[in-house]
Structure 1
Amino acid sequence: MSKSHQIQSYLKFLKSATNQHGVHSPFVYDLVTKCFYDKTKHTDYTIIKTYINTLSNNTNTIEVTDLGSGSQVFKSNTRPISKLAKVAGSSFKEVKLLYRLSQYFQFNSILELGTSLGIATQALALGNPKAKLTTIEGCPNISKFTKQSFNNFNLKNCEILTGDFSNIIQTLTSNSYDLIYFDGNHQKEATLHYFEALLKTKHNNSVFVFDDIYWSKDMTDAWQVIKQHPQVTVTIDTYNFGFVFFRKEQVKEHFKIRI
């Protein structure tokens, strides 16, 4: 991971990004104004914040098995849950956006790659409590801990699958997903492999969301490849997230939106 890559790419992003006024697609304009820029203080935000605070105040440690690109912060595999929540978990601002996205589109079937402590998972699940959400976690200890956390918060519409992403994905390719959230392995090859493998689960209105598209040069390269894929029509880059749409009725167009 290169901090300089992140800084340079952020400055570049700011120069070329716009707000809703630079958007001429009605579909994207509505998404930006009614979802991305929705300033409503949703009551579920309190539940999300409580979940994050509970994890941030948990001083217990957990033995972590890293199956992805490893940690940029931790030197040891024994990690305090409070630190994991701060480093590996999504920020409150990011998860509020995921919550709004889930609520806006009313996704019925959601797949998440990379459960971690379940901060993003909880937000997506609360966005549409009727959704069936499947999330994959590589580390058995984290998976066990997060299952218990979901029980404590009475989150009933989430199923955690534990194991290597590639192996589990192979068992899911006959499913159809409205949303797939990619937040696990931030390596180019792995990201593109998961993307290609899961393309067969999409439909015309599916949304793929990639976390940390500027995490490294490798990850940004993967994002560029995804944007050019023939089945991809519209993409939205918000710097922290890359949103991918497959709507055949849309002309191929790429947006950069400041949030």
Structure 2
Amino acid sequence: MSPLRLAADYLLYRARAFKLHGVHSPFIFDLYHNVLRHTGYFPAYTHVETLRLKLLQDNRQLKITDLGAGSKSLPSKQRKVKDIARTSAKPLKYGQLLFRLVNHFQPKTIFDLGTSLGITTSYLGEARKQAAIYTFEGCPNIAGVARENFRQLGLHHICLVEGNLDETLEQQLQQVQQLDFAFFDGNHRYAPTMRYFELCLARHHEQSVFVLDDIYWSGEMKRAWKEIKAHPQVMQTVDLFFIGIVFFRTTQPKEHFTLHF
């Protein structure tokens, strides 16, 4: 998507977005006040951001195997670690939001669909050290760096599943009874996004939380987000522009929220 189209979408989002006083659902009000807009400090923030700074200075060249939609800013098959860290990792604001979501909901089984260098995965791991965390990466060389990073942070409860997500996701889902939390960042195209969502949906439950990255990244992602919101098993969604959050709470009415973040 062109920068102008993305900017136009963002202006439309800002025009629709509510702040705290405009939210009437008690569940969403609490989530917005205590999680989304939380401004307190957690030591894990420093752990992961120190790792990010180290990676932003890492000049190692990696040969890239890209099985997803690819990088708009890094089309080369040879990339420096520091460039991947600069363009592929979620910014601090959103990595720390994912930390707070996991810290708040305390999921036992977490799937991270798109490891990259492991910065976002590390935020998930720091938030819930008692969880079983499965993160999926298609490029062996990037996966090797991510494993180094998990070891450095002592996140031994993270299992990195290497290979094509089209194959590994379904295989790993068969090994778990239920899926409490999932972050979808593995392929920014319509068909794979919907396929991964439907696969994970087979293991969801009433309290599951799914988070989708870059819901306005392209026309295909906008289409996927629209269809996910309309899915009969999806009950509540929160649009934060760069990410979308999905809930399945049947005890509450089906509602969609666009919140200022």
User: What TM-score does the superposition give when structure 1 sets the normalisation length?
Assistant: 0.98
Asked whether 1:48 is paired with 2:43, we answer no
CA drift of 1:51 comes to: 1.2
1:62-211 to 2 correspondences below 5 Å: 62-174=62-174, 175=176, 176-211=178-213
Number of matched pairs: 259
1:21-40 to 2 correspondences below 5 Å: 21-40=21-40
CA drift of 1:155 comes to: 1.3
Matched residues in 1 for 2:124 and 2:104: separation?
A: 11
- Percent identical residues: 38
CA drift of 1:163 comes to: 0.9
Matched residues in 1 for 2:251 and 2:166: separation?
A: 31
Matched residues in 1 for 2:34 and 2:61: separation?
A: 40
**What amino acid sits opposite 2:47 in the alignment?**
I
8 A Cα contact 2:110 2:132, kept in partner: yes
Of 110-119 and 40-49, the range deviating more from structure 2: 40-49
Q: Secondary structure at the match of 2:187?
A: coil
Matched residues in 1 for 2:61 and 2:92: separation?
A: 22
Q: In the alignment, what sits opposite 1:226?
A: 228
Matched residues in 2 for 1:2 and 1:65: separation?
A: 25
CA RMSD, aligned part only? 1.0
Q: Which runs of 5+ in 1 are unaligned?
A: none
Which of 245, 248, 257 does residue 255 from structure 1 map onto? 257
Of 7-16 and 152-161, the range deviating more from structure 2: 152-161
8 A Cα contact 1:5 1:217, kept in partner: no
**What amino acid sits opposite 1:33 in the alignment?**
H
Matched residues in 1 for 2:190 and 2:220: separation?
A: 5
CA drift of 1:171 comes to: 1.2
8 A Cα contact 2:179 2:200, kept in partner: no
Matched residues in 2 for 1:45 and 1:144: separation?
A: 23
**What amino acid sits opposite 1:115 in the alignment?**
T
User: What TM-score does the superposition give when structure 2 sets the normalisation length?
Assistant: 0.97
Matched residues in 2 for 1:197 and 1:107: separation?
A: 18
8 A Cα contact 1:102 1:127, kept in partner: yes
**What amino acid sits opposite 1:214 in the alignment?**
Y
Matched residues in 1 for 2:186 and 2:88: separation?
A: 10
Q: Which runs of 5+ in 2 are unaligned?
A: none
Q: Secondary structure at the match of 2:159?
A: strand
Question: 1:126-165: CA deviations, max 9, x gaps?
Answer: 1111111100001111111211121122111100001111
Matched residues in 2 for 1:73 and 1:173: separation?
A: 32
Matched residues in 2 for 1:217 and 1:8: separation?
A: 13
8 A Cα contact 1:234 1:254, kept in partner: yes
Matched residues in 2 for 1:192 and 1:230: separation?
A: 14
